[in-house]
Amino acid sequence: MARLFGTDGVRGLANGDLTAELALDLSVSAAHILAEAGTFEGHRPVAVVGRDTRISGQFLEAAVVAGLASAGVDVFLLGELPTPGVAWLTGELGADLGVMLSASHNAMPDNGIKFFARGGNKLDDAVEDTIEDRLTEVWARPTGAGVGRVSVDESLVETYVAHVVNSLERPVSLDGIKVVVDCANGAGFQAAPAAFEAQGADVHRIHAQPDGININDNCGSTHMETLQRAVVSRGADLGLAHDGDADRCLAVDAEGRLVDGDAIMVILALAMQEAGELASNTLVATVMSNLGLKLAMADAGIRLLETKVGDRYVLEELDGQELSLGGEQSGHIIFRDHATTGDGILTGLQLAAEMARTGKTLTELVTVMTVYPQVLVNVPGVDQHGLEGDTAIADAVRAAEAQLGDTGRVLLRPSGTEPLVRVTVEGEDADEVKRLADLLADAVKSAA
């Protein structure tokens, strides 16, 4: 059977792949593995549970709560809250585990379950495997006063917003900065605008009226066109886009140009280096980051460490070497001193604060990085695990790499969140990059 956990929890079609029964069973297993439910006499484990704005989150939340409470875990329901808020509150409230119901940037019909261990940390592969392996185990069930209690405290969104604002190491007013925030009709629809308003920014919010169905629907960090138009039409200084659970942040400058996670990381890494806040003078990024990021870091004398795709792998590297900043091109950026996961709202605040501190526009700040042409082709309907050992694909990759030379690269990888293979090609010539990406995608399809 295929592994349930992907790069970011268990994700699938809600009420199709991801059923209420599976959510309940996962929660019972997680309660025993993460919270050691039933292990100690008199021990009452505690969990916090949040969700994004998908309508399916309601029945999945009910299933998760039922599973946790039936295992003897007391549950605090947080309501609609960004993923980083759930992670932070898991640690802040001393909970034994946290649960976030979200499929992040995926379309509304999907949903997902993300677990956090004590302290708000994402799980490593071994712990996920243990939870999955023990799904069918028969557990001792508490009765009477031993079952879990369920409480609701949606006011904690304000606590999270205060944490994000207080996380600015060098506080600065955003008075006079006009920002458009695209909330993706998702979990950040309250917290994101509130954080910027607290710092004095002139905020215009778009896609901030979730109805349970419109999350990520032609909006947010996967559909930037509306934000780009809004920034230009309103004469804003900055546009920020989040995904459905607000752990991502992408930006738009005053002229409507996209500023991705790589460029944001370069700007913030240089700012932290200058302030003496960049631990070990090192940035952590994934293998998907643009060649321009690598060259910008080399020019600044900043060491760059690369990981597999997935912000939890970035976090593992940050934790292992006690580093302070890392992230992904997609906009998952982790400030390790303040968060245990990517935090889109904190990222956006830091970027706006750097504009205020320097007096520079985002257009001026982003000139420190030259973006090399990069093409990503998603190939659905293929055997994700058949890439290794396929000689035809290996030959096609070698031929593409030979044509690109030292100023380009090729990356093929199975998606950890969707049933497809991602083909990435990068180089100096945009036309050549596109042609090679299409050739490689055809090779992957032929090998299916």
Residue 386 tokens read as: 């058949």
pLDDT for res 51 = 98
Is residue 104 part of the annotated active site? The answer reads: yes
Given a cut of 70, the residues of the chain with pLDDT beneath it are 1, 38, 40-41, 383-387, 389, 416-417, 448
pTM: 0.89
Instruction: Name the residue among 72, 123, 130 with its Cα closest to residue 98.
Output: 123
CATH number (3.30.70.20, 3.40.50.150, 3.40.120.10, 3.40.50.300) of 5-154 reads 3.40.120.10
Domains 5-154 and 160-368 share a fold: yes
Q: What is the 3-state secondary structure (H, E, C) of the chain?
A: CCCCEECCEEEEEECCCECHHHHHHHHHHHHHHHCCCCCCCCCCCEEEEEECCCCHHHHHHHHHHHHHHHCCCEEEEEEECCHHHHHHHHHHCCCCEEEEECCCCCCCCEEEEEEEEHHHEECCHHHHHHHHHCCCCCCCCCCHHHCCCEEECCCHHHHHHHHHHHCCCCCCCCCCCEEEEECCCCCCCCHHHHHHHHCCCEEEEECCCCCCCCCCCCCHHHCCHHHHHHHHHHCCCEEEECCCCCCCCEEECCCCCEECHHHHHHHHHHHHHHHCCCHHHEEEEECCCCHHHHHHHHHHCCEEEEECCCHHHHHHHHHHHCCCEEECCCCCEEECCCCCCCCHHHHHHHHHHHHHHHCCCHHHHHHHCCCCCEEEEEEECCCHHHCCCCHHHHHHHHHHHHHHHHHCEEEEEECCCCCEEEEEEECCCHHHHHHHHHHHHHHHHHCC
pLDDT for res 384 = 63
pLDDT for res 15 = 98
Q: Which of 29, 56, 104, 324 is catalytic?
A: 104
pLDDT for res 386 = 62
Domain 374-446: homologous superfamily in CATH? Alpha-D-phosphohexomutase, C-terminal domain (3.30.310.50)
Q: Are 64 and 21 in contact (CB under 8 A)?
A: no
Express each pLDDT in 59-88 by its tens digit.
999 999 999 999 999 999 999 999 999 999
Express each pLDDT in 398-417 by its tens digit.
999 898 887 888 988 887 66
* Domain edges within the chain: 5-154, 160-368, 374-446
Q: What is the dihedral of CA 52, 58, 62, 65, to 10 degrees?
A: 10
Class (C level, CATH) for 160-368: alpha beta
